[in-house]
Each structure stands twice: as C-alpha cells, then as structure tokens.
Amino acid sequence: MDVEGALQSRAWKLIVVAALALFAASPAWAWGYDGHRIVCAVAWEELTPQAKAKIADIIHVETRDAFADSCIWADNYQFFHKETSAWHYISLPPDATSVDMARDCANGVCVVGKIETELRVLRDHSTAEPAATLRFLIHFISDVHQPMHASLAADRGGNDVKGLYFGIPTNMHALWDYTMLDQDARPWREIADMLHARVTAQDRATLPKSKPLDWANESLAIMRARTTAYIPHGDTFEFDEAYRQINFPILLDRMKEGGVRLGAVLNDLLK
C-alpha cells in the first residue's frame, strides 16, 4: 500500500472509531439495526411494483435487502446530527395513559410529529431532499412500533433502568431494542420471512386504517403493561425464560404490524 493509501485507510479507521465511540456514549433511542431491517423487509414484501419503482428512483435501492439497509440510515445520521435524536421517540410523564400531542410533542418534535411532517412534505412535493425525507419516514414508522419509544422521560425511555436478561447486562430500552432479538439468534432475514408469512388478509385490511398517534398509543399500552415490568419498576431487573415467553411474541408482532403499516403507507404515498 502506498503512503497516500495508508493515510486514507488510517483516516477511515479513525472515522469508524469516532462513530462507535459516539454511539456508545449516546442513549439508545431506536430499534437495533436488525429490528429496523425486519420491519422494512416485511414492508418491502407488501409494496406494489409502482411503489418499488418510485423508491428506486428516490433512494436508489431495488432489492429487499438494500431497502432494509436503507431503514437504518436515520440512526447513522443522528450520530453526527444530535438535533435529530428527539425525532425518534416520544417522552411521557409517569401517569400518562395516552399520548397528548400538546403536552408530549411540542412543535411536532417527537416521532409522531415527525412521521406526520415527513408524510406531508412528501405528499406535497415540498422538500428539496426527498431521499432524506423518505429515509426518515421509513425509519420513524418503524421506531414508533418499538414500545420503549413511547416511554418515560424521567429514565430516558428505560435507558437508565439496568438489569440482566438471561444473565446478559442490558437496560429496559435496549432489552426491547435488540437484546431479546439477539438472544433469539436467528438471522434477521429468516425472522422477516417468518413474520411476513404470518401476515393475514385481516392484517392488511385493518392495520393500515390506524394513524401514527394510534401506533404510539399502542406502544404506550405495551410499555405500561404489568407483564412488560417497566411501570412500576425498581432500580434493576433480572429476566429469563418466563419474560421471553410473554414478551418476545409481542416484540415480533410489533415488527410485523410496523411492516404492514409501512408498506401500506408507501403504497398510498407512491401511487
């Protein structure tokens, strides 16, 4: 390798190290990468040929895997644009039983508000950056289906609630982001195939009728459920198979629901 090539290689390594360090220092406010990929892979299978063609025009992806990878863009973007972090979730007071947009989403700065904004600007063709807007949209629709994205401001959406899952150190937010999914050990493509095979005609008829605010309230209800063991909670937790048996199916259902809804939104938007 010549000197210039060595310097370029070293520079890229430093960039990667810096990005990883920034990620480690930041609170987790998103599905793990594979969770986003699964939601978007299910959505891809629901898309019409016309919607797929328009997606290819806007963000230059033409396969399910490439589309799934595009769904993690917004998380990578926030590494260097921290002002976008609050777009991925909605923070709630401890006694909240439903989302109040005036209280919980001032000036539309929350995941529900950003979904509505991105949808509006794409429909109105009022953005100079349709690729970024579409990437944000697909990511945020996935995010709002993660139950800990409608959780308590006081503990940073469960990030400050530490514990063990099958002996693995984690926190409540990370548990629902990726720890349960990682413990399953199946490749994300296999899980996506399984979930799409479970999509029914009733799912396609009923799931898209709801709105982003409904999706956030669904996540809130799961977050508040006694079986989730988030509210009320102590300073720590220790979960094993009993927790997985109840909650992992809920996690899978949320990914399936998010995928069906995302597919329906895109089919309507990209007619």
| Confidence (pLDDT) at 92 | 96
Domain residue ranges of the chain, discontinuous segments joined by +: 28-153+188-222+254-269
Fold of 28-153+188-222+254-269: P1 Nuclease (1.10.575)
* pLDDT tens profile 191-200: 999 999 999 9
With a cut of 50, which residues of the chain have pLDDT below it?
1-29
Query: What would the pLDDT profile of 94-153 be if each residue is shown by its tens digit?
Result: 999 999 999 999 999 999 999 999 999 999 999 999 999 999 999 999 999 999 999 999
Give 92's strand partners: 152
pTM as predicted = 0.89
Supply the pLDDT for residue 161. Answer: 94
pLDDT of residue 30: 56
CB 157 within 8 A of CB 173: yes
Q: What is the pLDDT of residue 192?
A: 98
Rg (Cα) of the chain, in Å, rounded? 19
Per-residue CA distances from 68 to 9, 23, 208, 229 (Å): 28, 21, 20, 31
Q: How many CA atoms lie less than 13 Å away from 254 in the CB half-sphere?
A: 30
